[in-house]
Amino acid sequence: MSELTFTHTIDGKAETSKASFDVINPATAQPFAKCPDASREQLDRAVAAARTAFGPWKRKSFAERRRAITDFAHGLAARIDEIGPVLTQEQGKPLGQAKWEIGGAAHELEAMCNMELKPEVLRNDGKHRIELIYHPLGVVGAIAPWNFPIILAAHKIAHGLYAGNTMVLKPSPYTPLATLLMGEVARDTLPPGVLNTLAGGNDLGAWITEHPGIDRISFTGSVPTGKRVMASAAGTLKRVTLELGGNDPAIILEDADIEAITPSLFRGAFLNAGQICMAVKRIYAPEKLYEPLVEGLSKLARTHRVGDGMEPDTEMGPLQNRMQFDKVMDLIEDTKRHKNVRITAGGHSLNRPGYFIAPTVVADADDDMRLVREEQFGPVLPVLRYTDVDDAVRRANDSPFGLCASVWTKDFERGAEIARQIEAGTVWINHHVGSEADMPFGGFKQSGLGRELGMLGLASYMEPQVVKVPLA
């Protein structure tokens, strides 16, 4: 990475900082690049630039903003081959998946700008015409996570900017570099100040959430951090969207074709080393299908190629950081202390540098285990038995989380009936993991507040206003 220089983007210009921090390659556990560490003064100037840009930007039409964001999307797509290796080295995912993420972000930026909140007449009774209209909020503080730093930032950028707001975007300090390159694209395609990108640690995040010049916070990350964000934003009653963790259940019905669905379940659990908020985190399987499912998942786990994401045959990379690696290994060790539990694949770290854990399948798990109760956010999958589907739904709902879930069956309507009983923001039939530009995404319970994507997501970046006009 010595040939690349990473800079913040403030008011359309590149800036470095006096301070910097190391960025670790999780495949080696060694630093591979330096990242500038933004100061409070730089944040203040970024917010001021966004505030200045807000007036002209909000006065543009949806169509004009769509054209500018489309230019940004095309600029991002044009740099996939450059940004992809940076994303792999800072995040750990295989290069093909990193390039897919960047390409997906470019696609989502365009797709999310194909909707429009139009004024709505609520009443026209001859005496009054009552209209509902929407105004952009102002300056958005967007804080993106380390598991999918580019595509999840793109979701915030697309609707935030398309709605007429301007933005200060902060990536995770674990994965800041590809996002700073994303900021370079903004310099060439968006008006100065519309999108500012600043990298920094936890202090920068706290400064953003409490900053009086920021009107809205969009945060994606863990539940504990989300609670701190909400508390910090309360000082100025900022509008807040929190997309937090999940402990997503998959319920297999007795008529499911185990041979056909096992690869999809495996991918839903182990993609990105299980570091996906909406990943399959626990499976409930009926007795007669239980052992074939466990064996099928275990076979895939044993043959899944784990390695450095820059190696062409790698299917799964390392966990992204040492803290997450230690958490997942602690869950594995806790699981081993349960006498009746079987670890049918994995159950250990790899004997090599980096934060690698073998894909792990746990059979005969019970509901009270930490691995079942907590969000593992790593490549460890518990499989639980059930005899009554109503009981399986009850157990699936017995969680403080409620992000996503799935039901697997040949009877789609029965699957949909069961899906409606699950307490989760999104429930799929015969599928797990994914988002679409026009599909609202968010969680029940402690999995978050509000929605990203879809018309609900777009509306969350605007303030509704009622205008009552007398007609006589």
* Coil/strand/helix, residue 41: helix
| Domain hosting residue 42, numbered range | 8-244+447-468
243 is catalytic: yes
CATH number at residue 137: 3.40.605.10
For residues 202 and 283, state if they share a domain: no
* Coil/strand/helix, residue 142: strand
For residues 41 and 142, state if they share a domain: yes
Residue 291 forms part of a structural domain: yes
Q: What is the mean pLDDT of residues 449-469?
A: 96
For residue 236, give the DSSP letter: G
Residue 396 forms part of a structural domain: yes
Any residues with CB less than 8 A from the CB of 129 and at least 6 apart, and which?
121, 123, 468, 469, 471
Cα torsion at 235, 170, 207, 240 (round to 10°)? 0
For residues 300 and 366, state if they share a domain: yes
Residue 441 forms part of a structural domain: no
For residues 35 and 119, state if they share a domain: yes
Angle at 177 between CA 172 and CA 178, to 5 degrees: 100
Q: Is the pLDDT of residue 3 over 90?
A: no
Q: Which helix (H) or strand (E) holds 152?
A: helix 149-162
Q: Which of 277, 375, 404, 452 is catalytic?
A: 277
Residue 1 forms part of a structural domain: no
For residues 129 and 172, state if they share a domain: yes
CATH number at residue 348: 3.40.309.10
Pairing of strands 166-170, 139-143: parallel
For residues 206 and 263, state if they share a domain: no
Residue 169 forms part of a structural domain: yes
Q: Which of 108, 243, 375, 452 is catalytic?
A: 243
For residues 304 and 354, state if they share a domain: yes
315 is catalytic: no
For residues 115 and 42, state if they share a domain: yes
Q: What is the mean pLDDT of the chain?
A: 97
**Contact 92/320 with Cβ under 8 angstroms?**
yes
Per-residue pLDDT, 116: 86
pLDDT in tens, 396-436: 999 999 999 999 999 999 999 999 999 999 999 999 999 99
Residue 21 forms part of a structural domain: yes
pLDDT in tens, 156-215: 999 999 999 999 999 999 999 999 999 999 999 999 999 999 999 989 999 999 999 999
User: Is the pTM of the predicted complex or chain greater than 0.85?
Assistant: yes
pLDDT in tens, 290-307: 999 999 999 999 999 999
Residue 36 forms part of a structural domain: yes
For residues 277 and 339, state if they share a domain: yes
Domain count of the chain? 2
For residues 126 and 259, state if they share a domain: no
Residue 3 forms part of a structural domain: no
For residues 159 and 260, state if they share a domain: no
For residues 224 and 352, state if they share a domain: no
**Contact 137/215 with Cβ under 8 angstroms?**
yes
For residue 228, give the DSSP letter: H
